[in-house]
Amino acid sequence: MVGKITRAYERELKDGDVKMTSPKFGMSILFFFLCISFCSSTDQSFQQCFSSHLPPSKITYDVIFTQNSSQYSSILQSSIRNLRFSNASKPRYLVTPYNENHIQATIICSKEHHMHVRVRSAGHDYEGLSYISDVPFIVIDLFHIRISAKSNVHGFPAGSCPTVGVGGHISGGGFGTIFRKYGLAADNVIDAKMIDVNGNVLDRKSMGEDLFWAIRGGGGASFGVIFSWKLKLVRVPPTVTVFKTLKTLEQGATKLVQKWQNIAYKFHHDLFVHAVIQVTNPNSNQNPTVQVSFDCLFLGTTERLLSSIQRSFPELGVTQENCTEMSWIQSVLYFAGHSIAESADVLLNRGTQSTQSFKGKSDYVKEAIPKMGLEGLFKMVAEEETSMFILTPYGGRMKQIKSSATPFPYRSEYIYGIQYMISWDVAEETGKRIGWMRRLYKYMEPYVSTAPRAAYFNYRDLDLGRNSYPNTSYVEASQWGLKYFNHNFNRLVRVKTLADPHNFFWNEQSIPVLRLE
DSSP string, 454-514: ---TTS--GGG--PPSS---HHHHHHHHHHHHGGGHHHHHHHHHHH-TT--S--TTSPPPP
Q: In what order do the strands lie in the sheet with 93-95?
A: 64-66, 93-95, 137-141, 116-120
* Half-sphere CA count of 457, side-chain side, radius 13 A: 32
The whole-number pLDDT of residue 285 equals 67
Q: Which residues of 386-410 are buried (b: 16+ CB within 10 A; e: fewer)?
A: ebbbbbbbbbbbbbeeebebbbbbb
Domains and CATH numbers, the chain: 47-140 (3.30.43.10), 239-444 (3.40.462.20)
Secondary-structure percent of the chain, ordered helix, strand, coil, rounded to 5: 40, 20, 40
Q: Does residue 63 sit in helix, strand or coil?
A: coil
Predicted model pTM: 0.90
The whole-number pLDDT of residue 394 equals 98
Give the strand pairing for 189-195 and 289-298: unpaired
Q: Is the pLDDT of residue 258 over 80?
A: yes
The whole-number pLDDT of residue 161 equals 85
Residue 261 binned pLDDT confidence (cut-offs 50, 70, 90): very high
**Least confidently predicted of 22-36, 117-131, 291-305, 319-333:** 22-36
For 353, the enclosing helix (H) or strand (E) is none
Residue 289 binned pLDDT confidence (cut-offs 50, 70, 90): very high
How far apart (Å, rounded) are the C-alpha atoms in residues 113 and 150? 40
Amino acid at 165: G
Residue 349 binned pLDDT confidence (cut-offs 50, 70, 90): confident
Q: Which residues of 35-50 are buried (b: 16+ CB within 10 A; e: fewer)?
A: eeeeeeebbeebbebb
Give the strand pairing for 93-95 and 416-424: unpaired
Give the strand pairing for 116-120 and 137-141: parallel
Residue 4 binned pLDDT confidence (cut-offs 50, 70, 90): very low
Mean pLDDT of 58-67: 85
What's the mean per-residue pLDDT of the chain? Answer: 89
List C-alpha distances in Å: 270 to 110, 181, 216, 306, 392.
47, 6, 24, 13, 15
User: How large a percentage of the chain has pLDDT more than 90?
Assistant: 78
133-183: pLDDT as tens digits? 989 999 999 988 877 777 767 999 998 888 888 999 999 999 999 999 999
* Half-sphere CA count of 116, side-chain side, radius 13 A: 24
Report the candidate in 249, 261, 257 with the shortest Cα–Cα distance to residue 291.
Answer: 249
For 5, the enclosing helix (H) or strand (E) is helix 2-15
Helices assigned H by DSSP within 278-364: 302-312, 328-335
The whole-number pLDDT of residue 284 equals 60
How far apart (Å, rounded) are the C-alpha atoms in residues 63 and 342? 33
Omega of the bond leading into 136 within 30 degrees of 0 (cis): no
Strands (E), 232-333: 234-235, 240-248, 271-280, 289-298, 324-326
List C-alpha distances in Å: 328 to 94, 169, 186, 333, 431.
36, 20, 20, 9, 41
Mean pLDDT of 92-119: 96
Name the more confident of 235 and 2. Answer: 235
Report the candidate in 329, 299, 323, 327 with the shortest Cα–Cα distance to residue 158.
Answer: 329
Q: Does residue 247 sit in helix, strand or coil?
A: strand
Strand partners, 225: 195
How far apart (Å, rounded) are the C-alpha atoms in residues 338 and 332? 9
Amino acid at 264: A
CB 19 within 8 A of CB 13: yes
Q: Is the pLDDT of residue 2 over 90?
A: no
Report the candidate in 306, 283, 288, 284 with the shortest Cα–Cα distance to residue 296.
Answer: 306
CA atoms 457, 170, 174, 494: torsion sign: negative
The whole-number pLDDT of residue 324 equals 98
Q: What is the largest CA-CA distance in the chain?
A: 92
Residue 19 binned pLDDT confidence (cut-offs 50, 70, 90): very low
Amino acid at 72: Y
List C-alpha distances in Å: 127 to 109, 124, 132.
26, 8, 9
Q: Is the pLDDT of residue 107 over 80?
A: yes
CA atoms 184, 185, 186, 190: torsion sign: positive
- Residue 402 CB contacts under 8 Å (≥ 6 apart), including other chains: 411
The whole-number pLDDT of residue 282 equals 60
Give the strand pairing for 271-280 and 289-298: antiparallel
* Region of residue 252 (phi > 0: left; psi between -120 and 50: alpha; otherwise: beta): left
Backbone angles phi, psi at 290, to 5 degrees: -90, 135
The whole-number pLDDT of residue 41 equals 67
Mean pLDDT of 266-289: 88
Mean pLDDT of 127-138: 94
360-395: pLDDT as tens digits? 999 999 999 999 999 999 999 999 999 999 999 999
- Residue 216 CB contacts under 8 Å (≥ 6 apart), including other chains: 170, 171, 186, 187, 189, 192, 406, 407
Catalytic positions are 459
Residue 351 binned pLDDT confidence (cut-offs 50, 70, 90): low
